[in-house]
Structure 1
Amino acid sequence: MNDKPMALIQCWDDGVTTDTRLLDILRRHDAKATFNLNAGLHEKSRRLDWIYKDTEVWKLGMDEMRDVYDGFSIANHSLTHPHLDEIPVDAARREIAEGRDRLEQFFGKSVTGFAYPFGTYNETVMSLVHETGHVYARTVQVVTHPFPPVDAMAFHPCCHFLAPDFWERYEKAREGSVFYFWGHSYEMVSEPMWTSFDEAIARMSHDPRTCWQNIAELFAEAP
């Protein structure tokens, strides 16, 4: 077994109000995370976006996002969350490039990560993401050992945070020294789910064989 501490990395999509509760948990356990945001979908104040399993999903307002995500990494999730592989190339390029530019201007820091909206992409979209200055792009395809990826523009995670085999994948990932999971905070629709998530973060944070890292840090340290 690899003696190197396993890097724990996580990312969360869409910039929703339940991220505030998620962040309270992460801060309490000193856990790092990256949040994938769509700069073109946030208004000045919070707004109702859609309904998920009878639960309202609200987008965070621009007037609160700097404070909400203070101390955490930000990545690009495109400007308005389209299927990038189904729109004209020029439109896809704008979605990717402007999404990144606006996030950098708003947060005042470099944005080098990307997450494909709906998890859909093709070779052209991968090239556009790379050309517009991104270091990696997350998919939703799962792998046992995610790092180093065969292609950084198709960075596959180990699993979704609600995967039924989450802990099995956690243990299997030790051989590759990176455990990478993702999700949406709005998917936690009950108190037991929040409690379970809190316990999971605590368990990983107190595992002496692990350490939390941001995704960009992982790539910066790669040879």
Structure 2
Amino acid sequence: MSKVTMTFPKGKHKVLTMSYDDGKSADRRLVKIFNNYGIKGTFHLNSGLLGEGDRIPADEISSLYHGHEVSAHTVTHPTIARSSKEQIIEEVMEDRKGLEEILDYSVRGLSYPNGSYNQLIKDMLPFMGIEYARTVHSTGNFDLPDNFIEWHPTCHHNHNLMDLADTFSQLDKKQYLNMLYVWGHSYEFDHDQNWEVIEQFCEFIGNRSDIWYATNIDIVDYINAFRNLKFSANSHFVYNPSIISVWLNVEEEIVEVPGGKKVILHK
């Protein structure tokens, strides 16, 4: 049997993803920084609060976040672990509906407002079309999540960011897949007067040929596409029923399996 393992697109083994909450005006500067260095972000918004105070207005959402992902954060940002089932459903589903009317694509992710969640909420989310949900519990490591509905980031941007970036950049053992997942709020850079933190990080880690720059949903979709591959019993061939390509390491050779195609892996 051939030795076959998953890689990230084009055979890469490292992925960077960024996750920022609340949709306040500082996102404009943050998005510009990301764009300058080829970095992808996921921005979690409250549809019921758009345009209020310092928040980005609805008519700017599509253009500002173009090329990135807009994800749910509930309609009004309650502490949902203290909410009734009915309120949880309304907060999540109405947020999806409100954002989808603006974006014209399906919103399938969430960051937990105030970091609040429990087992009941985790059990409910898949029935509301939510495929991943980010917590605020930093791991300090580069592991892929076991459960996307309880997706722990690597770090907040104020916690050892450059040390972690330096370690991540030097990872070269291709038998592992590594993910650096950074989260925060863009307005914190204004409050802390430390925009240089994210500028230096993005300049250091961006535009590298060995890193896949992805949104949260890009990672979910890719891993799910790999899990949905249909291998022959002896791994001599594989069929990809998804629409996106999946890359495999087949006996140390990188092989692309295009969406909708059958590929011979070993003759």
Distance 1:29-1:132 versus aligned 2 partners, 3 A rule:
same
TM-score relative to the length of structure 1: 0.86
Matched, 1:169 2:170: no
Higher share of residues assigned helix: 1
Deviation at 1:100, TM superposition (A): 1.0
For 1:126, the equivalent position in structure 2 comes to: 122
For 1:95, the equivalent position in structure 2 comes to: 91
For 1:40, the equivalent position in structure 2 comes to: 48
Deviation at 1:104, TM superposition (A): 1.1
**Contact 1:146 1:157 (8 Å CA) reproduced:** no
Note the alpha carbon deviations across 1:150-183, whole angstroms, 9 max, x for none.
22110000000111x2233332694541110111
Deviation at 1:208, TM superposition (A): 4.1
Structure 1 residues 1-223: aligned runs within 5 Å? 4-43=12-51, 47-48=52-53, 58-143=54-139, 144-147=141-144, 149-163=145-159, 165-170=160-165, 171=167, 174=171, 176-189=177-190, 193-222=194-223, 223=227
**Contact 1:9 1:215 (8 Å CA) reproduced:** yes
**Contact 1:15 1:35 (8 Å CA) reproduced:** yes
Note the alpha carbon deviations across 1:53-78, whole angstroms, 9 max, x for none.
xxxxx111123222221221111001
Aligned partners of 2:209 and 2:105: how far apart in 1?
Answer: 31
Aligned partners of 1:213 and 1:81: how far apart in 2?
Answer: 26
Give the partner amino acid of 1:145.
F
Deviation at 1:128, TM superposition (A): 2.0
Note the alpha carbon deviations across 1:35-61, whole angstroms, 9 max, x for none.
000001114xxx42xxxxxxxxx1111
Give the partner amino acid of 2:188.
E
Q: Percent identity?
A: 27
Distance 1:89-1:192 versus aligned 2 partners, 3 A rule:
closer
**Contact 1:34 1:215 (8 Å CA) reproduced:** yes
For 2:250, the equivalent position in structure 1 comes to: none
**Contact 2:61 2:102 (8 Å CA) reproduced:** no
Deviation at 1:119, TM superposition (A): 0.7
Distance 1:4-1:71 versus aligned 2 partners, 3 A rule:
closer
**Contact 1:136 1:153 (8 Å CA) reproduced:** yes
**Contact 2:142 2:154 (8 Å CA) reproduced:** yes
Q: Which runs of 5+ in 1 are unaligned?
A: 49-57
